[in-house]
Structure 1
Amino acid sequence: MASPDSSQGGQSRHHQCLRLLMWQVAALAFLLALTATTGDMSFPPVSDRSANSTKKSLVANIHGDIILGGLFPVHDKGEKMCGSINLDRGIERLEAMLYTIDEINDDPELLPGIKLGASVLDTCGRAPYALEQSLEFIRASFTSLDPTEFVCRDGSEAKAKSTPTTVVGVVGGSYSTVSIQVANLLRLFKIPQISYASTSASLSDKQRYDYFIRTVPPDTLQAKALVDIVQEFNWTYVSIVHSEGEYGESGIDFFKHEAKAKNICIAASKEISLRATNATYDEVIKELQDKPEARVVIVFVRSEDATGLLNAAARKNLTGKFVWIASDGWGNRLAPVKNNPLVAQGAITLELQSTPILGFEKYFLDLNPRSNHRNPWFVEYWEEEHKCSWNRVRPPTSAEDWRPFRACKGNERINRRITSQENKVQFIYDAVYAFAHALHDMQEELCPGTDRLCPAMANIDGETLLRNYLLNVSFDDERSGACGEPQDSNEVIDLTDLVYNLHRKRRTAIKKQNKDRSNSSTILSYRQFLVLLSSASLQQNDLRLSGPSSDEDAGGKPRTHDRKVPAGLREDSLSTVPPTPHMFVYKNR
């Protein structure tokens, strides 16, 4: 006869197997449902995903008592799945999350006795691949075993060879198409998700995305800003181009709605598919040329589509033909314009207002492959950044403009393409701190009088974390006392902040510490920008910026962890109010 203990152990193992089977069935049903709705769920063989087939198995780790998941576009999209390293947005955003966790763990007042950890994965900017990666977060929740349920023959407790990474929440994704599919999965398993960059208005639907929140406002604000800019120039006939997917489609739909109300007519309207080729971009440019009266083009696209569009315009020698007015998909990024500065001349692009994180700049610029072992993609980033090879003999293959093959010395330095931090660093910082303060509040309530992870927090329920703690977190913000999503504004004058120019060889912005300003770009507040408009210093035919600089308008104080951000949390947004758009005017001298 089996002993009661062995019977209970058998039942426990049966429950484990049954739970795992239920998870597999649920995951399969979810994938099949997405296949039916998106038609984009076919995964190539692992060996076909990129030149480096091991990319899918890599993870950036910080060991801890409580783990946050992270999703970042470390690599760009490739022809098959993952492409080359994302120099503009991938590594810096990932390192921002790791830096913030380090800062939290160094704070004795926040989560005392508990070490916060991270498990960060690469999405390659593709929703299907991001979804597959996110299954790792789910799988860990259902494959973790309680060692007390198993006893060895000698009476000792069994020990697992490895412990799966169970996450209590996820920071990410970046693209709205990625966040939407990941949110559909995570909500099934009650895992809260905070995005630092996904701005699609569709994600405001709390019936569908009840476990999704974000530290950035929806695209409606950008769409209003684009319409306001068009109005300020008295343009009434424009063409529009948008990317396929939630980001481009929802943003441009709202622009059309606002434009119609302001009597702005649409000449040509083109969508760039997710599988766009050079021929696709050439066709878009051709259709824009077919409407010669509409020189102004509203561009609501992802960064890679902005690059493709400008490349196509350059192939047609269309310098000065179009005035590009673009959303933050292009924003202040160098990639779209670095090979086409003349075609980009005069473009106006938007970015969300952000504040530098004090300490992160030095941290990031001091990183080196010799010491940065927790980021498995950093060597690849270093090689691409410095056009060299690190501890391996191979010719350069990932970029056409590599210098003759050479070995990395290790004393190279990361070179800033622009003077400020990557725009979304602040919002990643906000997202991680939101989780940390929610967990801190949970610790104070469930583990009173202790400075450690008590048994009551051993298995954190996602719904409890979200409803009882995360959505109740509030911070003080020195910019504004308001909280929640940005309020609608129909006045362009309310879209405060910066304007700067693009130089032919380098793009810079005036900072307070700059002593030599003779070769710097001019920064103006948005109010000064409007003064220039009214005084005809800035004409719609060339959009060249002139006028005095203003140090006082160059941004607020750098953020530190003492500056409790964001200003308040609501289900739809964790954003401070309002993260208003910057304006960037591109110009060659």
Structure 2
Amino acid sequence: MLLLSAIILIWPLHFTGGSICRLQGRPELPQFSKDGDIIIGGIFSFHDNLVNVKPTFNVLPESLKCKDINLREYQFAETMIFAIEEINNTTDILPGVSIGYKIYDDCSSMPLAIRAAMSLVNGQDEQIDPNDACTKSSPVHAIIGQSGSSLSIGVATSIRPFSIPLVSYFATCACLSNRNEYPTFFRTIPSDYYQSRALAQLVKHFGWTWIGTIRSDNDYGHNGMSTFLQAVQEEGVCIEYSESIYRTYPREKFLKVVDVIKQSTAKVIVAFTTFIDMEFLIKELLLQNVTGLQWIGSEAWISIESLATEANYRVLSGSIGVAIPNAVISNLKEFLVNVNLQSSPGNDGLSDFWQNIFGCTLTAQNETQNAKMCTGSEKLSEINNQYTEVSELRITNNVYKAVYAIAHSLHNLYTCTKNSMNRTCEKLTKVEPWQVLYNMKEVNITTRNGENVYFDENGDPSARYELINWQVKENMVKFVTIGIYDASLPRGQQFVMNNRSIVWAGFINKVPMSLCSQSCPPGTRKAVQKGKPVCCYDCIPCAEGEISNVTDSIDCLKCPLEYRSNDQRDQCILKDVEFLSFGEVMGIIPAIFSLTGASLTTSIICIFFYYRNTPIVKANNSELSFLLLFSLSLCFLCSLTFIGQPTGWSCMLRHTSFGITFVLCVSCILGKTIVVLMVFRATKPGNNVMKWFGPSQQRLSVLGLTLIQVFICIFWITFSPPFPSKNMRSYKEKIILECNVGSTLGFYIVLGYIGLLSIICFILSFLARKLPDNFNEAKFITFSMLIFCAVWLAFIPAYISSPGKYTVAVEIFAILASSFGLLFCIFAHKCYIILLKPEKNTKKSVMGKMPTKSI
């Protein structure tokens, strides 16, 4: 009705020839103005609300008054002025032509927005020259505005008959792309048509199929949500509820919306609202401590700094949404902070702004104890607020681009770079708004900060969004870019995400679940949510070893012990059987080392046999040496019994052969150590100790010590022998074939006996290491037993912690390492002298004395 009334009032005055045109009502003066050859109009929401006044209908109502200053809109307006001044000061665009401006405040109100538009279109002269006969053209050639879609729709409809281009920097309603309804409308922000689809793909990307939605009760909210619902339902997502909010609603309506959110089962909420409406909703959510929900936001609020406070983060933690890409505008910061009352003639709108920022008053009658007089010399450079903050220039950059788009359209007219309107280029004496409108369709430029600006057939720019996530960094809420959405790319490549950097609602480290009434496929089971309708359930994958092979299964079935579930959890399959085999690298390498060790030992036996009559062989008790070498070859070969599929015989053989051969080996070394000690004692006068430990006693001691281990092994395999077993506990997806030791006590006694002999041998050899002989074998035995004990001490924790076939591999390694250690430490030096230093293989060298020294 308001729009219709305005048109009825204007129409007869505009087309009545010869009549005198008079201004109806009070003149509406701009907040900011400057003369120029070309005038660009601007309409911004410097205030968010109107002061409530109840008319008495007795007197003429006073002008509507505004409240709740919006600092960000002041930044937008100053950015428009900055861009105009930048163009005026360059010769690249419109040389010799100055651009002026007239900027109005609409207080986020439709009546004031249309009134501002009419003021720009008609001018504010009290009376027009009669000679003009009410045919004077519009004083403005283009208008920049507004922040909201509803306001833009009202203004675009009002100025449509005048063919004045309206360029919006923040109106995103897809309805404004209708060229039949809004032929003069352009914008530097993408349409909600693309934003809605980006949000729908975002919801689908994270697997949310049960969501709630909230929209602003205006054109922006209704049209955007309508497009979103259509897109998201095509993706198979269900909507639990869809509520509307508006900043002028009574509190009871907001409380109703909060109750719906609290009682819902959806954990994800898509909010297609303006930031002002969102502020009112968040206030109620904070009062009722409604937190832990995942918010998905439209660009109208998701990147607004005033919302991103520490208090609001309790509700909006981890929020994700689409935002206009951020930008940098050179020298804008300096321009913003250098604005002041003295240097800005015609900028009456700074008064309210100045008083609000500095907490002072410009009029003496308003001076109070809490509000001092403004000096006008206050410095904005010392202020840190939304106006001076330039780290987030997403929407501000759209204002900057809008000014340059209009300027280039005018530049094309003045320079006649195009054959405008299919006419021959002529020098322009006067530019008409319809000419600017025509050239706006042809604009395709790059601004000074590298932004490409052009409009498609609907007056829309290309759609490119940043996907941002609210995160706390350095004790501040930051907008972190986690991906992009580019509608110009081929389908399927438009949406790119990086999930690893996302912070989720409730400070959890995984994607929140939001599902309801969706069938659970085979491989999952239904889990009813406590206190929720039966149609709302989670689909929980069956655990390892369990399957479900029907849709909407209530329980998962366990697979038999020798079976496991497949990756889809819908079928039981045989488990893989694993053991250390000769056919794999882990089995081949130990086998090669085992055969190599046995071959090397056999070679040393041959060397010793060939040089059996030499002093060095005789001096080292050749009989015990040959027996030791024979036992070492058995030690190397016994490791082969640990490789291959375990059987009853192989399990008994591997443990008993290991125990007996190592006792035989250590017994020989112990005998040699005792011989060394006895020989030293025998060299003292009157000492005849060697008769008690001659060759016969040496053989008997080795035999006796070995027989003890043999009897232990016989008892072990008689009463509780080792046996092959299937280990199905260590791994759920495979079976480990291994040898169970049977009697744990028997196994520990066998190992303990070997360890006891090793410790005795080490102690005796350590005591004999300093005996004053040129060739003291006790030194080499000490080193060999030190390595032997170290290997088996390290074996214990490695054996316990190694899983499956690696346990066997560790045991083989210990056998081979200790065997090689004994072989090299005891026999390497002897072979070196026999083969490479034969001059030392003499009785004199072997029997010679040497000074005592530590090893």
Q: 1:167 is matched with which residue?
A: 140
Among 463, 467, 487, which residue is 2:434 paired with?
Answer: 463
* 3-state SS in 1 of match to 2:16: helix
2:107 matches 1:124: yes
Q: 1:66 is matched with which residue?
A: 38
Identity %: 23
Evaluate the alpha carbon distance shift between residue 192 and residue 259 of structure 1 in structure 2; reply closer, same or farther with a 3 A threshold: same
Evaluate the alpha carbon distance shift between residue 110 and residue 526 of structure 1 in structure 2; reply closer, same or farther with a 3 A threshold: closer
Deviation per CA, 1:142-166, whole angstroms, max 9, x where unpaired?
A: 988569889xxxxxxxxxxxx9971
2:422 matches 1:424: no
* 3-state SS in 2 of match to 1:249: helix
Q: Gaps spanning 5+ residues in structure 1: where?
A: 1-14, 29-44, 47-53, 151-162, 397-402, 449-453, 489-493, 510-521, 547-589
**How far off is 1:274 after superposition?**
5.9
Where do 1:135-174 residues align within 5 Å? 135-140=118-123, 166-174=139-147
2:510 matches 1:542: no
Q: 1:95 is matched with which residue?
A: 78
Deviation per CA, 1:118-167, whole angstroms, max 9, x where unpaired?
A: 011111112221001211122239988569889xxxxxxxxxxxx99711
Q: 1:18 is matched with which residue?
A: 16
Deviation per CA, 1:355-401, whole angstroms, max 9, x where unpaired?
A: 221111221122233433332222322332333434545368xxxxx
| Distance in structure 1 (CA, Å) of the matches to 2:199 and 2:404 | 31
Q: 1:246 is matched with which residue?
A: 219
**How far off is 1:186 after superposition?**
0.9
Partner amino acid, structure 2, of 1:532:
N
* 3-state SS in 1 of match to 2:83: helix
Where do 1:63-462 residues align within 5 Å? 63-80=35-52, 82-140=65-123, 166-273=139-246, 275-291=248-264, 293-320=265-292, 322-338=293-309, 339-390=311-362, 392=364, 394=366, 404-408=370-374, 410-412=378-380, 413-417=382-386, 420-445=391-416, 457-462=428-433
**How far off is 1:99 after superposition?**
0.8
| Distance in structure 1 (CA, Å) of the matches to 2:418 and 2:504 | 63
**How far off is 1:531 after superposition?**
3.9
| Distance in structure 2 (CA, Å) of the matches to 1:447 and 1:419 | 37
- Greater shift, 537-546 or 328-337, is seen at 537-546
* 3-state SS in 2 of match to 1:329: helix
| Distance in structure 2 (CA, Å) of the matches to 1:424 and 1:481 | 14
**How far off is 1:228 after superposition?**
2.1
**How far off is 1:83 after superposition?**
3.6
Is residue 326–residue 392 contact of structure 2 (8 Å, CA) maintained in 1?
Answer: no
Is residue 341–residue 504 contact of structure 1 (8 Å, CA) maintained in 2?
Answer: no
Evaluate the alpha carbon distance shift between residue 60 and residue 355 of structure 1 in structure 2; reply closer, same or farther with a 3 A threshold: same
**How far off is 1:340 after superposition?**
2.8
| Distance in structure 2 (CA, Å) of the matches to 1:388 and 1:307 | 27
RMSD: 4.0
Evaluate the alpha carbon distance shift between residue 60 and residue 476 of structure 1 in structure 2; reply closer, same or farther with a 3 A threshold: closer
Q: How many residues align?
A: 462
Is residue 148–residue 220 contact of structure 2 (8 Å, CA) maintained in 1?
Answer: yes
Which structure features the higher share of helix residues? 2
**How far off is 1:230 after superposition?**
1.6
| Distance in structure 2 (CA, Å) of the matches to 1:479 and 1:58 | 30
| Distance in structure 1 (CA, Å) of the matches to 2:429 and 2:403 | 20
Evaluate the alpha carbon distance shift between residue 65 and residue 217 of structure 1 in structure 2; reply closer, same or farther with a 3 A threshold: same
Q: 2:444 is matched with which residue?
A: 474
Partner amino acid, structure 2, of 1:18:
T
* 3-state SS in 1 of match to 2:160: helix
Greater Cα radius of gyration, structure 1 or 2: 2
Evaluate the alpha carbon distance shift between residue 543 and residue 165 of structure 1 in structure 2; reply closer, same or farther with a 3 A threshold: farther
**How far off is 1:482 after superposition?**
8.7
| Distance in structure 1 (CA, Å) of the matches to 2:413 and 2:181 | 26
Is residue 320–residue 468 contact of structure 2 (8 Å, CA) maintained in 1?
Answer: no
Evaluate the alpha carbon distance shift between residue 446 and residue 336 of structure 1 in structure 2; reply closer, same or farther with a 3 A threshold: closer
**How far off is 1:294 after superposition?**
0.9
Is residue 18–residue 131 contact of structure 2 (8 Å, CA) maintained in 1?
Answer: no
* 3-state SS in 2 of match to 1:472: coil
Is residue 40–residue 99 contact of structure 2 (8 Å, CA) maintained in 1?
Answer: yes
Evaluate the alpha carbon distance shift between residue 479 and residue 106 of structure 1 in structure 2; reply closer, same or farther with a 3 A threshold: closer
Is residue 97–residue 428 contact of structure 1 (8 Å, CA) maintained in 2?
Answer: yes
Q: 1:160 is matched with which residue?
A: none
Is residue 193–residue 227 contact of structure 2 (8 Å, CA) maintained in 1?
Answer: yes
**How far off is 1:242 after superposition?**
0.5
**How far off is 1:499 after superposition?**
4.2
Is residue 357–residue 425 contact of structure 1 (8 Å, CA) maintained in 2?
Answer: no
* 3-state SS in 2 of match to 1:276: coil
Partner amino acid, structure 2, of 1:474:
N
Q: Gaps spanning 5+ residues in structure 2: where?
A: 1-12, 53-63, 420-424, 486-494, 512-855
**How far off is 1:504 after superposition?**
9.6
| Distance in structure 1 (CA, Å) of the matches to 2:140 and 2:412 | 18
Evaluate the alpha carbon distance shift between residue 23 and residue 237 of structure 1 in structure 2; reply closer, same or farther with a 3 A threshold: farther
- Greater shift, 355-364 or 93-102, is seen at 355-364
* 3-state SS in 1 of match to 2:507: coil
| Distance in structure 2 (CA, Å) of the matches to 1:143 and 1:404 | 40
Evaluate the alpha carbon distance shift between residue 351 and residue 229 of structure 1 in structure 2; reply closer, same or farther with a 3 A threshold: same
**How far off is 1:431 after superposition?**
1.2
Is residue 120–residue 138 contact of structure 2 (8 Å, CA) maintained in 1?
Answer: yes
**How far off is 1:349 after superposition?**
3.4
Is residue 310–residue 336 contact of structure 1 (8 Å, CA) maintained in 2?
Answer: no
Is residue 140–residue 166 contact of structure 1 (8 Å, CA) maintained in 2?
Answer: yes
* 3-state SS in 2 of match to 1:336: coil
Is residue 20–residue 128 contact of structure 2 (8 Å, CA) maintained in 1?
Answer: no
Evaluate the alpha carbon distance shift between residue 481 and residue 184 of structure 1 in structure 2; reply closer, same or farther with a 3 A threshold: closer
Partner amino acid, structure 1, of 2:507:
D
- Greater shift, 339-348 or 422-431, is seen at 339-348
| Distance in structure 2 (CA, Å) of the matches to 1:203 and 1:232 | 29
TM-score by length of 2: 0.49
Is residue 19–residue 142 contact of structure 1 (8 Å, CA) maintained in 2?
Answer: no
| Distance in structure 1 (CA, Å) of the matches to 2:76 and 2:45 | 9
Q: 2:543 is matched with which residue?
A: none
Evaluate the alpha carbon distance shift between residue 461 and residue 164 of structure 1 in structure 2; reply closer, same or farther with a 3 A threshold: closer
| Distance in structure 2 (CA, Å) of the matches to 1:172 and 1:479 | 20
Deviation per CA, 1:262-283, whole angstroms, max 9, x where unpaired?
A: 1111111111246313222212
**How far off is 1:222 after superposition?**
1.5
**How far off is 1:525 after superposition?**
5.2
- Greater shift, 372-381 or 280-289, is seen at 372-381
Deviation per CA, 1:207-262, whole angstroms, max 9, x where unpaired?
A: 01011111111012221222222222211111111011111111101110011011
TM-score by length of 1: 0.69
| Distance in structure 1 (CA, Å) of the matches to 2:154 and 2:276 | 20
Is residue 149–residue 173 contact of structure 2 (8 Å, CA) maintained in 1?
Answer: yes
